[in-house]
């Protein structure tokens, strides 16, 4: 683990990765961050997609400064360590990634992730050496800051429909671990045997697994048994909220009925929750 000087929040976040398995839920605004802390979660993570949808934008279309402001907003909304979904670091070249990682660290996060998705359809993943150099640059920027922020290296092979995603993930996550990533993450994996092999290939470094609609059958205890240290839900909670909203709105428009509103949260409960934070 990093020997850099750590703040109390980064130290807590590192300690959470040392043993066991924990859930890192993903709020998309101040209110959801407050609720997740009140519910007893130990750390949240931002969600690029969840936030983008709340701004009427597609995932990946939120510009850097708007994302940095959002990350700081979530950090300020909770007393817990926050992990930032920092997409691809908002730059192609390692130097640009390093500069932007410094800005992200300055928001007060305890952790951040950098992914290898280029956002381009012709070459959806950065070439392996460049991708590794980008992780290495992020590592150097964090170390120079003295913050002790935990760096997660993400391989997006499954999400970009790589022709052989499992082989690509094993190869790249091992390289990202060697380049200085503290935690490894390949969103999209659902096969338990593949998860187990990912855990082994980067051991003793911790692995994050995304659980969302496509692999919701996986449980906390099952993933813990496979050696997974951290579980995130990405845009899953935001999509659950959107699903309820869409169904209720469509019911009103199509059927002229309002019965789905009966399942909503209670105003009094939310007033009580947020009154404590005012």
Considering the domain 8-235, what is its CATH architecture?
Answer: Alpha-Beta Barrel (3.20)
Q: What's the whole-number mean pLDDT along residues 258-274?
A: 96
CA 105 vs. chain centroid, Å, equals 15
pLDDT at 3: 44
Domain ranges, ordered by start, for the chain: 8-235
Instruction: State the pTM of this model.
Output: 0.96
The partner residues of 117 in beta bridges, in order of sequence, read: 125
The per-residue pLDDT for 276 is: 73
Q: How far apart are CA 249 and CA 238, in angstroms?
A: 16
In this predicted structure, the answer to whether residue 278 has a pLDDT above a threshold of 70 is no
Give the mean pLDDT of 139-166.
Answer: 98
Q: Residue 1: pLDDT above 70?
A: no
Q: What's the confidence (pLDDT) of residue 6?
A: 79
**Mean pLDDT over all residues of the chain?**
96
* pLDDT tens-place string over residues 13-59: 999 999 999 999 999 999 999 999 999 999 999 999 999 999 999 99
Per-residue model confidence as pLDDT tens digits over 126-141: 999 999 999 999 999 9
Distance (Å, rounded) from C-alpha 174 to C-alpha 184? 9
């Amino acid at each position: 683990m990093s020997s850099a000087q750590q703040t109390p929040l980064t130290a807590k976040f590192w300690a959470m990765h040392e043993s066991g398995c924990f859930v890192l839920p993903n709020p998309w605004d101040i209110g959801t961050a407050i609720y997740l802390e009140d519910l007893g979660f130990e750390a949240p993570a931002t969600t690029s997609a969840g936030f983008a949808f709340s701004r009427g934008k597609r995932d990946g279309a939120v510009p850097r400064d708007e994302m940095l402001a959002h990350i700081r907003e979530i950090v300020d909304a909770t007393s817990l360590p926050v992990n930032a979904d920092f997409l691809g670091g908002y730059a192609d070249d390692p130097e640009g990634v390093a500069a932007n990682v410094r800005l992200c660290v300055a928001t007060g996060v305890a952790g951040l992730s950098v992914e290898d998705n280029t956002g381009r359809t012709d070459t959806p993943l950065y070439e392996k050496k460049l991708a590794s150099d980008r992780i290495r640059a992020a590592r150097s920027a964090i170390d120079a800051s003295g913050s002790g922020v935990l760096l997660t290296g993400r391989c997006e092979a499954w999400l970009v429909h790589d022709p052989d995603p499992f082989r690509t993930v094993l190869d790249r996550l091992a390289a990202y671990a060697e380049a200085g990533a503290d935690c490894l993450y390949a969103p999209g994996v659902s096969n338990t045997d593949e998860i187990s092999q990912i855990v082994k290939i980067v051991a003793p470094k911790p692995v994050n697994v995304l659980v969302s609609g496509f692999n919701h059958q996986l449980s906390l205890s099952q993933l813990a048994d496979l050696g997974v240290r951290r579980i995130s839900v990405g845009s899953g909670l935001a999509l659950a909220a959107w699903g309820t909203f869409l169904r209720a709105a469509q019911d009103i428009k199509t059927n002229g009925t309002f019965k789905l509103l009966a399942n909503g949260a209670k105003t009094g409960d939310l007033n009580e929750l947020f009154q404590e934070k005012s």
